[in-house]
């Protein structure tokens, strides 16, 4: 397996062009019918013959079965559940595996080594202050209808997402996450003219970021792909159906059955980037929903490429002479225990108790006995070659020291401790979640005398536990979670270890503080705020200015608190918190008020009031899973006032990591941040993942997805012999 490469030395085809290489990033690790098929970094797949596999000489010889009618056809899977019901690239769902690079091509994309390379772009230049990127487009790129791909097509696709009327927008999952005033425009606080995206001419696009930020990785993400305005305007809800579809990628959609088979064929108008391998020779690519019997389907000739989904599958492969078809690819994701943000007071809020738990877990038996070697032991959020590894220091395995810590905390041999809850995904979400939880349960009982209870969670509830804030009814304990990397960029150096810092009430807060913020996450509109400011769901509220007075008063108080707190922070962080050129909080509030003043109808005035309410008060109505609007003034003011010094440092280090321009810079801050979280056992790393897969002898170019969502991606590189 090749060592990690940052991919930051991106090629440029334009002489003289510079080659330089905050919001929450939601990471969804979806190992569908597979143990380890998500979140990874750079490296080629290797034959499993070099992974110390053995075959049983007495086993029956496995004869490869060529899928019927192969002749240039490759059949490969996509994740199901959740399936693919749409091909809209703007949504963070399984279709991103098909959209980015295969049927749509962005300014930048991934090569076969998972490195960022230019695609539609010929190169870029970067301003001295690191804020303004000017991207130069190739003149020969074409849509499948023959139209040229222009800067306007990217502008159209991005502004379509930013439209304030687009309630489904997921701005964090694209370059828009860092575009100047993107969130402000989407919320209605500033006009479109203030968004940091500008078309200079047909082949020149200017992107201004809020703070200096490496964006090439984000430009390779699905939601950063262009769209053909003519087609999308004509068919706004189903433009991706085969009868309408127009793409600029190497392949186009021939047929599409929602949550069924997707058939792709070569795009006859495609012109790839000179000097790059842009696609393979597959004449037809059939993408089919993944199943729990992928190896059986592979043996039966139903699949040409299949993920190895469990240790039992791996054993079958080893004993049926399939080693030559078995490959291992790097997967830079970490399985770990994540504090579950319970609001219930408990001894598990005691740092020594959590440290004892972390030090009493023996990882090698889990990897060998539960996973059959499909992964590697780690006590840090790093995998072989990971840049931040040298800056991290996790808690060591030491059962004797763990017992000592537990006794010092007042719970010798676990006496007096309540049941520790372990939340794990149901097998349909992750086959190994429950077995891993069972192994941990057994070790904690044997080593510390701690009693546990395993709770299996469905996809929706499990995702909310992992990715969002505190939830009602959660008992003190940990979630068996998977930390993945959404895409390549320096900001992802902590492999999701800092997920619990994005919301007040996660890591480092007291149970009393968690109880205070609990309603923010579990009701559409915070009940206390509704009583204070009025009900935004009442269409008559906000029509009269009198309804605005409570909000107006609180805005002034909140802004004073936030501004004072910001001025007290280090200059480097201040520049991130309050970047030059960004409208002040007062200016954003004034913009919303002006919208109310300009409104001609009662419904328009109420709509402005709802914007104002959400600008000020906690709500989860417009967020996904179990989140809250952390940018609301009341939330920020409470957060700034009540956080501990440790929590403040975590946020600062996270901001430095996420605003680093190189992996080496980000690795330093990620190491500092993650070490602190590990030492206090808010997170407990268990093992890193690897992707095992089968590929028929006549197929090449299958590319396991080393980022969040797992499975395979970059289908355009598939070839047949």
Q: Would you state the pLDDT for residue 23?
A: 30
Q: Would you state the pLDDT for residue 702?
A: 98
How far apart are alpha carbons 687 and 645 in whole angstroms? 30
* Full DSSP string of 206-266: EEEBSS----HHHHTSGGG----HHHHHHSTTTTTSTTT----SSEEEEEE-TTS-EEEEE
CB 164 within 8 Å of CB 187:
yes
CB 615 within 8 Å of CB 633:
yes
- pLDDT-based confidence at 81, cuts 50/70/90? confident
CB 630 within 8 Å of CB 506:
no
CB 521 within 8 Å of CB 469:
yes
Given the structure tokens 């909000």, which residue do they identify? 551
- pLDDT-based confidence at 649, cuts 50/70/90? very high
pLDDT for 367 beyond 50: yes
- Model pLDDT for residues 145-180, shown as the tens digit of each residue: 999 999 999 999 999 999 999 988 899 999 999 999
* Token pair in block for residue 529: 């705020």
Q: Which residue has the higher pLDDT, 20 or 643?
A: 643
Domains, the chain, in order of start with CATH, read 80-279 (3.90.76.10), 331-512+668-688 (3.10.105.10), 519-642 (no CATH)
Q: Would you state the pLDDT for residue 70?
A: 63
pLDDT for 708 beyond 60: yes
How far apart are alpha carbons 236 and 223 in whole angstroms? 16
Q: Which residues does 111 contact at the CB level (< 8 Å), separation at least 6?
A: 117, 276, 277
pLDDT for 12 beyond 50: no
When the pLDDT of each residue in the chain is averaged and rounded to a whole number, the result is 90
Q: Would you state the pLDDT for residue 366?
A: 97
Q: Would you state the pLDDT for residue 310?
A: 86
Tally Cβ neighbours within 10 Å of residue 272: 17
Q: Would you state the pLDDT for residue 642?
A: 98
- Model pLDDT for residues 18-70, shown as the tens digit of each residue: 222 233 333 333 332 222 223 233 334 454 433 333 333 333 334 455 554 46
Q: Would you state the pLDDT for residue 627?
A: 81
Rounded to an integer, the average pLDDT of 334-347 is 97
Tally Cβ neighbours within 10 Å of residue 421: 20
Q: Would you state the pLDDT for residue 652?
A: 98
pLDDT for 677 beyond 50: yes
CB 611 within 8 Å of CB 638:
no
- Model pLDDT for residues 265-287, shown as the tens digit of each residue: 999 999 999 989 999 999 999 99
Q: Would you state the pLDDT for residue 626?
A: 60
Rounded to an integer, the average pLDDT of 596-620 is 97
- Residue 351's H or E segment, with its range, is helix 351-360
- Model pLDDT for residues 516-572, shown as the tens digit of each residue: 999 999 899 999 999 999 999 999 999 999 999 999 999 999 999 999 999 999 999
pLDDT for 195 beyond 70: yes
CB 83 within 8 Å of CB 227:
no
CB 490 within 8 Å of CB 663:
yes
pLDDT for 716 beyond 80: yes
How far apart are alpha carbons 694 and 295 in whole angstroms? 8
- Model pLDDT for residues 410-420, shown as the tens digit of each residue: 999 999 999 99
Sequence-separated contacts (24+) of 696-699 with Cβ below 8 Å: 696/64, 696/66, 696/67, 696/298, 696/304, 696/305, 696/325, 697/64, 697/324, 697/325, 697/721, 698/66, 698/70, 698/304, 699/74, 699/304, 699/305
pLDDT for 579 beyond 90: no
- pLDDT-based confidence at 397, cuts 50/70/90? very high
């Amino acid at each position: 397996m090749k060592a990690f490469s940052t991919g930051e030395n991106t090629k440029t085809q334009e002489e003289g062009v510079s080659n330089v290489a905050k919001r929450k990033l939601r990471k969804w690790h979806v190992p569908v019918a597979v143990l380890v098929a998500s979140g990874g970094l750079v490296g080629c797949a290797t034959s499993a013959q070099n992974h110390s596999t053995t075959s049983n000489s007495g086993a029956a010889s496995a004869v490869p079965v060529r899928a019927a009618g192969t002749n240039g056809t490759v059949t490969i899977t996509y994740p199901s559940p959740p399936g693919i019901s749409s091909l809209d690239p703007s949504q963070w769902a399984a279709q991103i595996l098909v959209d980015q690079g295969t049927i749509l091509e962005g300014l930048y994309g991934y090569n076969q080594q998972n490195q960022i390379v230019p695609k539609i772009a010929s190169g870029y230049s970067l301003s001295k202050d690191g804020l303004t990127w000017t991207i130069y487009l190739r003149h020969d790129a074409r849509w499948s209808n023959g139209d040229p791909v222009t800067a306007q097509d990217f502008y159209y696709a991005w502004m379509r997402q930013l439209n304030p009327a687009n309630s489904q927008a997921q701005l964090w999952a694209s370059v828009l996450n860092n575009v100047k005033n993107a969130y402000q425009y989407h919320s209605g606080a500033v006009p479109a003219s203030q968004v940091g995206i500008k078309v200079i001419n047909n082949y020149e696009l200017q992107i201004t970021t809020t703070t200096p930020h490496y964006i090439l990785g984000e430009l390779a993400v699905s939601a950063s792909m262009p769209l053909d305005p003519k087609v999308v305007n004509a068919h706004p809800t189903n433009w991706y159906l085969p009868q309408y579809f127009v793409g600029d990628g190497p392949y186009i959609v021939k047929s599409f059955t929602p949550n069924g088979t997707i058939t792709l064929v070569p795009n006859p108008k495609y012109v790839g980037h000179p000097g790059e391998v842009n696609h393979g020779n597959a004449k037809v690519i059939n993408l089919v929903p993944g199943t729990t019997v992928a190896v059986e389907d592979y043996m039966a000739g139903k699949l040409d490429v299949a993920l190895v989904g469990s240790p039992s599958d791996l054993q079958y492969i080893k004993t049926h002479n399939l080693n030559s078809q078995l490959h291992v690819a790097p997967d830079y994701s970490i399985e770990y225990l994540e504090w579950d943000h319970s609001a219930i007071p408990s001894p598990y809020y005691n740092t020594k108790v959590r440290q004892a738990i972390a030090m009493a877990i023996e990882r090698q038996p889990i990897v060998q006995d539960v996973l059959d070697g499909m992964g590697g032991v780690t006590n840090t959020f790093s995998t072989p070659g990971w840049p931040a590894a040298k800056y991290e220091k996790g808690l060591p395995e030491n059962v004797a020291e763990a017992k000592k810590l537990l006794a010092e905390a007042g719970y010798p041999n676990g006496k007096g401790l309540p049941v520790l809850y372990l939340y794990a995904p149901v097998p349909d979400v992750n086959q190994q979640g429950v077995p891993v939880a069972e192994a941990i349960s057994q070790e904690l009982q044997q080593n510390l005398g701690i009693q546990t209870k395993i709770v299996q969670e469905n996809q929706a509830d499990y995702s909310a536990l992992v990715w969002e804030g505190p939830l009602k009814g959660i008992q003190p304990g940990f979630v068996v979670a998977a930390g993945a990397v959404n895409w390549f960029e320096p900001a992802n150096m902590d492999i999701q270890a800092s997920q619990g810092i994005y919301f007040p009430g996660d890591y480092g807060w007291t149970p009393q503080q968690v109880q205070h913020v609990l309603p923010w996450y579990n009701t559409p509109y915070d009940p206390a705020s509704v009583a204070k400011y009025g009900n935004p769901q009442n269409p008559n509220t906000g029509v009269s200015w009198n309804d605005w007075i409570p909000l107006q008063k609180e805005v002034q108080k909140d802004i004073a608190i936030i501004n004072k707190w910001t001025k007290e922070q280090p200059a480097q962080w201040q520049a991130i918190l309050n970047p030059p050129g960004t409208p002040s909080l007062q200016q954003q509030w004034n913009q919303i008020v002006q919208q109310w003043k300009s409104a001609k109808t009662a419904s328009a005035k109420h709509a402005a009031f709802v914007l104002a309410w959400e600008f000020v008060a906690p709500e989860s109505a417009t967020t996904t899973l179990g989140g809250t609007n952390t940018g609301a003034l009341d939330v920020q003011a409470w957060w700034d006032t009540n956080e501990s010094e440790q929590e403040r440092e975590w946020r600062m280090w996270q901001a430095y990591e996420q605003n680093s321009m190189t992996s080496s810079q980000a690795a330093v801050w990620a190491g500092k941040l993650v070490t602190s979280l590990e030492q206090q056992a808010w997170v407990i790393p268990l093992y890193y993942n690897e992707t095992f897969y089968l590929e028929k002898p006549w197929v090449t170019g299958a590319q396991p997805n080393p980022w969040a969502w797992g499975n395979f991606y970059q289908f355009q590189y598939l070839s047949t012999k």
